Structure 1
């Protein structure tokens, strides 16, 4: 049987058109709704001796080193603000569970606590959030070292003000639940050891001379209790008083963070909703541009495969080629429109407030006023605490240590100075 060449060309053209159009149509049907597992709540009150205090370091904004180019979708001013905002969001999530002791947001690189949680922001828009999370206890044992990422819950952007929730609450819930699972694996004796090590590390940093011999490090790099202070030891009692004052200072600092959170929440929510809609529009426009380019190319292909012996086909072929080329140009134009949408996002970053208010606090009968960044305030605070310690005990203050970061505190990249190993 002889097969007509024009029939084959027509059949091939129709088949290609149907296949590609069906593929493009299927590709455009995507969903961004995210299911959220709630943060696990405590079924009953947990005994105080089993509760661990948590310090959440202000997140690393994930900006490139100075002098290197910043990606087009990263706004440095906003990222720095997000580094506090997101730390507070995790703090509030964990506080709501009743599974932990005091939870505080700490300046980067400072503070001694039972469990320290640090994070680096990898990607943050209204559409997608990605975080690297690391949690290390006072002994240097790594509890958690994971990457968390999710697309925004679209329904959060549709909520009324009374029902407002974070579009990425699922990530904070997941982190909280994973930390809880890690804690459940520890025996009661280990929880007690973590609290003891945390207390003695604070003491050794404040006063190395009398307390440096209370701790030791094993072969894995873990910090262990070598011996405990005697019951009623006046030196450790002074340390406990200063630590209580420091916790009060950090609580006051966190109140400033909360005020920052309140100032930032409305404009930040608006920014995220806007960027979510912009990114959705951008993706839709890119799909539209791709579809137009494909259909334009197929129109040209179909015209080229038309029966060359027909004068009517020649007219159709010419018209199809013109239409196909126009469709390709329309697709390119649409891509440019999408880029304009992306550029519009930049204009919102500069308005976010990031400065903290000065702290006025009374300690040991003195009224102190600390100003500047959180890091500067904490440096001043540590120096004052060491001076108070020297005055009360008569022990000299090491001139190389005033205001220095706490021993074992993590730096901007989230690493621990004691190089802990993970089980």
Structure 2
């Protein structure tokens, strides 16, 4: 009976340890999952469209919404996507998190431009907008802005967040979209040359169109009037400040600047006519930039497609290795705890040799299991480093380079140099300078 009692106690201990093991494994799984999440904060209010400075808040007032055209097509601007880099508490890029999440900054910055071009292609296919343009930043004059942020992109999984806002500053909506590329996608010859991420941009474009469908003709006209007046105020705030009121608002936790028209100027206003000419020149430059983006996309598409094709199996293998490593590390740690508990229990009763023997055998077995599992986790960690190195090697410096641009305008030849954003800023600065020179009369001393 004594031996049976000891065996029952041993079985009870094993049952308790099993329950501890199950709860610890569940808690560890939750903790490991939580470690993959990085919070990014942005305290700046959303501001789209041309603005001479951060506007002052003012009272709301509904302005005119006259119907000027029965066929209203809103123009769309798509800035390069936010790369979605993890930030530290000071708003700086967190290098440790970059490594943890497997983000290579140069590649991600290139994807930010590629994804903007992919979004443009998806919206162009809808044929319900005016011009759809990839632009260097959100200060471009436009009716509608589609702002994207990359949440994840590792050739297997892609996640983007789209924010849609119009020239009044109103946020139409914000939505995240994700897609997982199957390994078989690359093996199918019919998919050769296709974009494996295309479904995510199709769903995002469907979302933008669904928001557009809710607008009336009057609302579209109001947005177009606002686009023009904000551009006019950008050039001559002293002349057009009274035409627009500005307020700081919040929607779904997002702060943004909301603009309200109070009135419209005389259609024959000579200054407005001049500003419209300058806006046409700026938009012409944006249109020319599309050629550069198309060349960029053509030059990088093959290299980027090769990177996706070559790294997809490596990413899948790395993910499996990491999962296996984490699981074995948890199992190994719990097994080591189990071994220590069993050894401690075996030492409690020195006068029970048969029971002690059974417990010590269990302790040795658990100890061996913990050592094996931890060693295996290290082996898998080494393999993970190899997989990551392959991915890093494949994703080397791809970036947008723009050749110098020469523009002839009003008997002047202007040469612009640098990146697309730098050239665009140079051109905006030149247009502003021309306007200021014409607006300032000659003074005879």
Common fold, TM-score beyond 0.5? yes
- Assess, with a 3 A threshold, how the Cα gap between structure 1 residues 67 and 288 changes in structure 2: closer, same or farther: closer
Identify which range, 190-199 or 130-139, moves more after superposition: 130-139
How far the C-alpha of 1:7 sits from its partner, in A, is 11
Answer yes or no: is the 8 Å Cα contact 2:155–2:181 preserved in 1: no
**Which residue, out of 364, 373, 382, partners 1:328?**
373
1:269 corresponds to: 305
2:154 corresponds to: 125
- Assess, with a 3 A threshold, how the Cα gap between structure 1 residues 287 and 83 changes in structure 2: closer, same or farther: closer
1:210 corresponds to: 239
**Which residue, out of 70, 75, 79, partners 1:53?**
75
**Which residue, out of 364, 382, 400, partners 1:354?**
400
State how 1:104-119 maps to structure 2 within 5 Å.
Answer: 104-119=133-148
Q: What is the rounded CA distance, in whole Å, between the counterparts of 2:334 and 2:237 in structure 1? A: 75
1:92 corresponds to: 121
**What's the RMSD between the two structures over aligned residues?**
4.1
State how 1:167-186 maps to structure 2 within 5 Å.
Answer: 167-186=196-215
How far the C-alpha of 1:66 sits from its partner, in A, is 4.4
**Structure 1 unmatched runs, 5+:** 28-46, 398-423
- Assess, with a 3 A threshold, how the Cα gap between structure 1 residues 238 and 110 changes in structure 2: closer, same or farther: same
Q: What is the rounded CA distance, in whole Å, between the counterparts of 2:127 and 2:225 in structure 1? A: 22
Can you list the C-alpha shifts for 1:116-167, whole angstroms capped at 9, x where unaligned?
1222323322122233322211111111123x24242225433447643332
2:84 corresponds to: 62
2:58 corresponds to: none
Q: What is the rounded CA distance, in whole Å, between the counterparts of 1:149 and 1:88 in structure 2? A: 17
State how 1:268-347 maps to structure 2 within 5 Å.
Answer: 268-289=304-325, 324=369, 327-328=372-373, 331-337=376-382, 338-347=384-393
Answer yes or no: is the 8 Å Cα contact 2:179–2:200 preserved in 1: no
Normalising by structure 1, report the TM-score. 0.71
How far the C-alpha of 1:111 sits from its partner, in A, is 0.9
Q: What is the rounded CA distance, in whole Å, between the counterparts of 1:227 and 1:215 in structure 2? A: 8
Normalising by structure 2, report the TM-score. 0.68
**Which residue, out of 364, 368, 371, partners 2:417?**
371
2:428 corresponds to: 382
Q: What is the rounded CA distance, in whole Å, between the counterparts of 1:57 and 1:317 in structure 2? A: 63
Q: What is the rounded CA distance, in whole Å, between the counterparts of 2:92 and 2:147 in structure 1? A: 22
Q: Secondary structure of 1:105's match?
A: strand
Answer yes or no: is the 8 Å Cα contact 2:400–2:419 preserved in 1: no
How far the C-alpha of 1:370 sits from its partner, in A, is 0.9
Q: Secondary structure of 1:55's match?
A: strand
Question: Do structure 1's residue 238 and structure 2's residue 267 form an aligned pair?
Answer: no
Answer yes or no: is the 8 Å Cα contact 1:122–1:131 preserved in 2: yes
Identify which range, 283-292 or 221-230, moves more after superposition: 283-292
Q: What is the rounded CA distance, in whole Å, between the counterparts of 2:151 and 2:327 in structure 1? A: 31
1:395 corresponds to: 439
